[in-house]
Amino acid sequence: MDTQRVIESLNPVVASEKFPPLHVGDTVGVHVRIVEGAKERVQVYQGVLIGRTGRGVNEMIRVRRVADDVGIERVFPLCSPMIAKIEIVRHGDARRAKLYFLRDRSGKSQRLRDRRRGLKHVEGAMHWTPPATEAPAPAAAEG
């Protein structure tokens, strides 16, 4: 068995489903662990997911935000221990795999349409539930 197949066979074990399904165009809040000396804190980096690359252990997301009229992009590896969690703030409607055209836009033209419009009447539309964890068995009631 060659090296590539060995790595691909290990990917499902290492890359667990600890994040909700992410789509390009979503506004996400990435909770990043920051170590300063002996202290550790979590800082939220919120922006639009403009691209995904790689797969399995090597998967990366590119998040863009605008601060003080300057666009800032950060690339996060999904399997990094520096990411505490990722939350989806808003689902955006994107018709492309990479939203690099947002770099040239500013103001209102930078916004994306909401993907959930028209689905307000559907029960549980676009709703993600985290994977089930083993819960302790309920205690028997004495009576």
74-99 pLDDT, tens digit each:
999 988 889 999 999 989 888 889 99
- All structural domains of the chain with their residue ranges: 3-106
Enumerate the β-bridge partners of residue 33: 42
Percent of the chain with pLDDT over 70: 76
Question: Which of residues 80 and 140 earns the better pLDDT score?
Answer: 80
**By C-alpha distance, which of 93, 82, 89 is closest to 118?**
93
Q: Can you give the pLDDT at residue 104? A: 87
For position 119, what pLDDT does the model report?
Answer: 58
10 Å CB burial of residue 66 (0-12, 13-18, 19+) is: middle
CATH of 3-106, one of 2.30.30.790, 3.60.20.10, 3.50.40.10, 2.60.200.20: 2.30.30.790
Compute the mean pLDDT over every residue in the chain, rounded to the nearest whole number.
82
Q: State the pTM of this model.
A: 0.71
